[in-house]
Amino acid sequence: MSPTAADYVSKQEVPSAEVGTPFGRASRPKVVGPDAPEPPFPISLAGPVQKGFGRGGKDLGCPTANLPDESITAMSSVAKTGVYYGYAQVVPPEESKPKFRPQDLKVLPMVMSLGRNPFYKNKMLTAEIHIMHEFETDFYGHEMRAIVLGYIRPELDYVSREGLIEDIEIDKRVGLNCLQRQAYQTYAKDAHFEH
């Protein structure tokens, strides 16, 4: 088995991946993984959304919600660094629910980066979830629940921000395509989420 994200943290190493090997954008598949989740998936995560670096929305056009370190241990101990797909839901307290539209509180498709983001030279392992939905209000401090269902690709370093943005957009399309499979769609109704 490849080293897990927790292995990299314990050794204080950053996994290296050369840009473009063997992961040319032209050859990226539209769907990845088996027809149904296989171990270690599904992986359930939950925790209050924390402020991150603020780069996702501003710098990359892909706003992300960061989970606290303790909530990602379950995943980092069994999964390698990289990009994943699944479902997520924002679960605000009752008194905050009126700030949100009904569609904001649904279980929604997501892609997630688990790693150190070598392009930005991060030192800490983070789990950054991009829910594929346009929110009109932020949800810092509110609970987010997620189920990670599959792996898209390894964490890579990039020579340009444009290259990173291009791969993020492909990741989103791949994640949506993967979730179209029936065995994955059933997880949107999982008891981990609030219905």
CA torsion angle for 67, 140, 153, 5 (degrees, to 10)?
-20
In angstroms, the CA 126 to CA 19 distance is 21
Q: Which residues are catalytic?
A: 128
* Separate counts of helices (H) and strands (E) for the chain: 5, 6
Task: Please state, in angstroms and as integers, the Cα–Cα distance from residue 82 to each residue in 105, 146, 155, following that order.
Answer: 27, 16, 4
- Give the 3-state secondary structure of 7-65: HHHHHCCCCCCCCCCCCCHHHCCCCCCCCCCCCCCCEEEEEECECCCCHHHHHHCCCCE
CA–CA separation, 100 vs 154, rounded Å? Answer: 34
H helix or E strand, kind and range, residue 114: strand 108-115
